[in-house]
Structure 1
Amino acid sequence: MAVKTNNYLMSINGEWVGSERDTLNVVNPATGKTVGTVPNGGEKEAEQAVDAAYEAFESWSNLTAYDRAGYLQKLNQLMLENQEEIAQMMTIEMGKPINESRGEVKYAASFIEWFAEEGKRVDGGVIPTHATGKRLQVWKKPVGVAAAITPWNFPAAMLTRKMGPALASGCTFIMKPSSESPLTAVKLMELCEQAGFPKGVVNLVTGSSSKIAKVVMGNSKVRKVTFTGSTEVGKTLIRQSADQVKKLSLELGGHAPLVVLDDADVDLAVKGTVASKFRNAGQTCICANRIYVQEGVYDEYVEKLTKAVKELKVGDGTDESNDIGPLINQDGLDKVKRHVEDAASKGAAITTGGEAIADNGGLFYQPTVLKDVNQSMVVMQEETFGPVTPVEKISSDEEAVKLSNDTPYGLAAYVFTSNVARGYQLIEKLDFGIVGWNEGGPSAAQVPFGGMKESGIGREGGHEGIDEFVESKYVAIGMG
């Protein structure tokens, strides 16, 4: 299915608008060709979106949870009906293989479906009183205007994971997608319009991240900001939020370890590694970046992993036979090259891959396995964000824990062992918010997603996800 290219607009207060500034080109990293343009919005447009969301908040928050759920259920239905168009849009703007894009649309829609129902369960409570003649209650109220700044690598799911709980709880919403993949957000905004959301409840602003963020962080009408991206930017947002003590949810960087113990099912471990590491060409925040394999199964694991990785096909994501798409931009490709070259110079052996692929101007890199790596190599210290799997040999469970935790990040980790007691003991010592045990794909709408340490603040998804968008109001009632 071909997706037409176009000059797209922003949506503010129910109107599709451009910008007084210039436009931004959206480039397909698989071909180097421009596939569309979006307005390069800035402070003016951001202020307009904030005002629109602020004006719409009172009426939206006063709807019943069941009424708000009706809008979300309609949006979920429309997303599933338009799955193919959204998926094609996603693939041409950021390169993800089409089958992964289709899966992301379903995943993204599942957050809308989940929070449509979860919004009906935002309840307070009655607390036993400490004195006669009193009644103590807790009410839950929506925070207010919520703004979301989302990344390029999951342009649908990272948006709906924030939009679902915000709208379900009674908040109004401003979305600011990455300028490298804004077209999926435009399509989702169109579907919000088709679902009948009232004017100002959902707004879309594209353009300058710094200028738009300056407004949402500095405008007191915005009471909640939710961000997925780098830890560096997250720390900046924390500092900017201080003046207003603005409520934040931050899902930041990761550097996930994957541990294979000597009693693991090696075939299952290899399958889980490929599923985790090579999804979206390794450009995910929870993908396995550091592989620690116990010496008893090290050679078998490397051999089987190398064989599996050699079978992965690289190319344009619109070709359904391809497993690995491009890196998002030249900086991303250069980082992957630098990490592999550094590892090779320090003694790592490349068992497969290890080279960039020249293909019609695309930004492709061969799926790569490195063995005999060690902690001196950059690939074990920095998040690569590319299709490279470094494998280090370890001798004990204690070493696995020590090396895994030796990072400022704590988003995701993976453990492969067939021994239940051993698995529990190891996992209890891992400082990560998400752990996959014999599982390479732990994400789901109904579970909490988020990290420890410098990997973020708060949780998205699950029961906890909607708590980030409500405040508890304690009410003491004197009965006379």
Structure 2
Amino acid sequence: MTTAYPEKLQLHIDGEWVDIGNRAGIDVVNPATGATISILPKAGASDLDRALDAAAQAWSVWRDTPVAQRAAILHKAADLMRERAKAIGALMTLEQGKPLAQAVGEVMGAAGQLDVMAEEAKRCYGRVLVRQPGENSFVKYQPVGPVAAFSPWNFPVFTAIRKVAPALAAGCPIILKPAEETPASPLEMQRCLVDAGLPAGVMQTVYGDPAQVSEHLIASNVIQKISFTGSVPVGKHLMKLAAEGLKRTTMELGGHAPVLIFDDCDLEKTLDMVTTGKFRNAGQVCVSPTRFYVQQGIYDAFTRGFAERAAKVSVGDGSEGGVDMGPLANPRRPDAMARLISDAKSAGADVALGGERGEANGGFFYQPTVLTNVPTEAMIMNEEPFGPVAAMQPFATLDEAIEQANRLPLGLAAYAFTTHLRTANLVGDAIESGMVAINNLTVSPGDAPFGGVKHSGHGSEDGPDGLKAYMVTKAIHQA
């Protein structure tokens, strides 16, 4: 299908779609071609103040809206997103680069998140405590207040909805600042909620200079909660800003996921699974399998089979049929890949596949790359690549594998493949990670907590844990 990208984009503030007018603009670029495809307005201080005032006005109204009514709006928005999934996905492909099928799948998954949170809000039960006759004590959960949320470019709709859905379900107005690289698809998500009947001021979408927007919103007394997905340095900075107002934070700060491949795994099935997972969204996934630790007995067979499968990954413009992997999201990413691979080679790693930029007319492509025998001191074993590169190293014993998996200060997702139940149990317990998948790559099913430990952040998104992240706990004692 052909979907035209809007020539001019908008903000959404206090129920109004705001054109660029006399505001400064930001170029939006198609990463498959390097061409500018639209202009995005930058919110100024007055725009942000207006958004904050609208959120403050909407707070008491939305907080007191019955749960069933809030849920009905979320369900209707989910239905609209499913109806419009192909059109929204096509916009996402143009601005982010991922293949159309993956983009449409992301929109469908985001619609599912709206449904999940609509129902979780109905099941947010408190509890009654045992007291002597004539006295009662009970615990209840209430919305925390207006939220400022910041979401990245790699999953522009799904990561945003992880913040929007629980906030709205809990009764909190939200001001969302998605990534400026990928603005159109989150705006269409906003449109679905507006068309579903969401009152003005309850959700607003703004763009601009990231530092200015975040500092302005977080400093306001209106905002009571901050949710951020992005890099560790930016997360630390936002936490410092939030600390000035003692504001609650949820931080998902990325990872560098270890993959433990044991010699008793189902080798062919494992290879099919992890190769597909590695190059999904060109490896631009915070839970992407990245550091592969393979037991010595199958190391050669695994690395050979992985490279053979990776060589078959079709790279190109995500809008075209038959493409498995699109471009990287911006011109910085190919440069980062080149730096990491050059360092790995200098450290003694072997390039089993790729290692070069892809051929394209101005696009930000990089070949699927497989590095073998990568020394631990290589940068790619210590820094999240966020790209289509798999780094492999052999191991001998379970203890050695666990040591390597836990070596970094990051702990978002981890994976292991084994048919030995005892090994699976030990790995699940021993790996320092917020999420561990064994014999699969599913760490984001929607009804389970999604979040990391150590420098990968704190707090959880999704499921009942994600909803309660937008609520405060109150104990009431009656005598």
TM-score by length of structure 2 reads: 0.98
Counterparts of 1:267 and 1:165, CA distance in 2: 39
- Could you say which residue in structure 2 is the equivalent of 1:255? 256
Amino acid at match of 1:407: L
Kindly indicate whether the alpha-carbon contact (under 8 Å) linking 2:413 and 2:443 is maintained by their aligned counterparts in 1: no
User: Helix, strand or coil: the match of 1:357?
Assistant: coil
What is the 5 A alignment of 1:60-459? 60-129=62-131, 131-459=132-460
Amino acid at match of 1:53: A
Kindly indicate whether the alpha-carbon contact (under 8 Å) linking 2:225 and 2:248 is maintained by their aligned counterparts in 1: yes
- Could you say which residue in structure 2 is the equivalent of 1:2? 2
Amino acid at match of 1:189: Q
User: Helix, strand or coil: the match of 2:197?
Assistant: coil
Counterparts of 1:259 and 1:270, CA distance in 2: 12
User: Helix, strand or coil: the match of 2:444?
Assistant: coil
Kindly indicate whether the alpha-carbon contact (under 8 Å) linking 2:418 and 2:424 is maintained by their aligned counterparts in 1: yes
Kindly indicate whether the alpha-carbon contact (under 8 Å) linking 1:57 and 1:145 is maintained by their aligned counterparts in 2: yes
Amino acid at match of 1:229: G
Kindly indicate whether the alpha-carbon contact (under 8 Å) linking 2:451 and 2:460 is maintained by their aligned counterparts in 1: yes
- Report the Cα offset of residue 286 of structure 1: 0.4
Kindly indicate whether the alpha-carbon contact (under 8 Å) linking 1:216 and 1:225 is maintained by their aligned counterparts in 2: no
- Could you say which residue in structure 2 is the equivalent of 1:27? 29
- Report the Cα offset of residue 106 of structure 1: 1.1
User: Helix, strand or coil: the match of 1:472?
Assistant: strand
Q: How many residues are treated as equivalent by the alignment?
A: 477
Structure 2: runs of 5 or more not aligned: none
- Could you say which residue in structure 2 is the equivalent of 1:38? 40
Counterparts of 2:244 and 2:177, CA distance in 1: 22
Which aligned segments of 4 or more residues in structure 1 are displaced greater than 3 angstroms? none
CA-to-partner distance for each residue in 1:347-389, whole Å, 9 max, x for gaps? 2111111110231100111101111111021111110111011
Counterparts of 1:398 and 1:212, CA distance in 2: 46
- Report the Cα offset of residue 444 of structure 1: 1.5
Counterparts of 2:378 and 2:201, CA distance in 1: 50
Counterparts of 2:442 and 2:355, CA distance in 1: 25
- Report the Cα offset of residue 42 of structure 1: 3.0
Kindly indicate whether the alpha-carbon contact (under 8 Å) linking 2:347 and 2:378 is maintained by their aligned counterparts in 1: yes
- Report the Cα offset of residue 155 of structure 1: 0.4
Kindly indicate whether the alpha-carbon contact (under 8 Å) linking 1:272 and 1:438 is maintained by their aligned counterparts in 2: no
Counterparts of 1:239 and 1:402, CA distance in 2: 32
Counterparts of 1:279 and 1:85, CA distance in 2: 21
Kindly indicate whether the alpha-carbon contact (under 8 Å) linking 1:276 and 1:441 is maintained by their aligned counterparts in 2: no
- Could you say which residue in structure 1 is the equivalent of 2:57? 55
- Report the Cα offset of residue 393 of structure 1: 0.7
Counterparts of 2:393 and 2:140, CA distance in 1: 52
Kindly indicate whether the alpha-carbon contact (under 8 Å) linking 2:180 and 2:207 is maintained by their aligned counterparts in 1: yes
Q: Please, which moves more after superposition, 168-177 or 36-45?
A: 36-45
Counterparts of 1:18 and 1:48, CA distance in 2: 15
Counterparts of 1:427 and 1:42, CA distance in 2: 48
Kindly indicate whether the alpha-carbon contact (under 8 Å) linking 1:107 and 1:444 is maintained by their aligned counterparts in 2: no
Counterparts of 2:271 and 2:476, CA distance in 1: 54
User: Helix, strand or coil: the match of 2:428?
Assistant: helix
Kindly indicate whether the alpha-carbon contact (under 8 Å) linking 2:177 and 2:205 is maintained by their aligned counterparts in 1: yes
- Report the Cα offset of residue 61 of structure 1: 1.1
Counterparts of 1:301 and 1:358, CA distance in 2: 28
Amino acid at match of 2:91: M
Q: Please, which moves more after superposition, 306-315 or 44-53?
A: 44-53
Amino acid at match of 1:156: V
Counterparts of 1:292 and 1:43, CA distance in 2: 49
Kindly indicate whether the alpha-carbon contact (under 8 Å) linking 1:370 and 1:388 is maintained by their aligned counterparts in 2: yes
Q: Please, which moves more after superposition, 151-160 or 207-216?
A: 207-216
Kindly indicate whether the alpha-carbon contact (under 8 Å) linking 1:136 and 1:477 is maintained by their aligned counterparts in 2: yes
Counterparts of 1:4 and 1:422, CA distance in 2: 51
Counterparts of 1:119 and 1:468, CA distance in 2: 12
- Could you say which residue in structure 2 is the equivalent of 1:468? 469
Kindly indicate whether the alpha-carbon contact (under 8 Å) linking 1:275 and 1:441 is maintained by their aligned counterparts in 2: no
Amino acid at match of 1:232: P
Kindly indicate whether the alpha-carbon contact (under 8 Å) linking 1:40 and 1:208 is maintained by their aligned counterparts in 2: yes
Counterparts of 2:139 and 2:36, CA distance in 1: 52
Counterparts of 1:86 and 1:118, CA distance in 2: 26
- Report the Cα offset of residue 132 of structure 1: 4.7
User: Helix, strand or coil: the match of 1:92?
Assistant: helix
Amino acid at match of 2:47: E
Q: Please, which moves more after superposition, 39-48 or 27-36?
A: 39-48
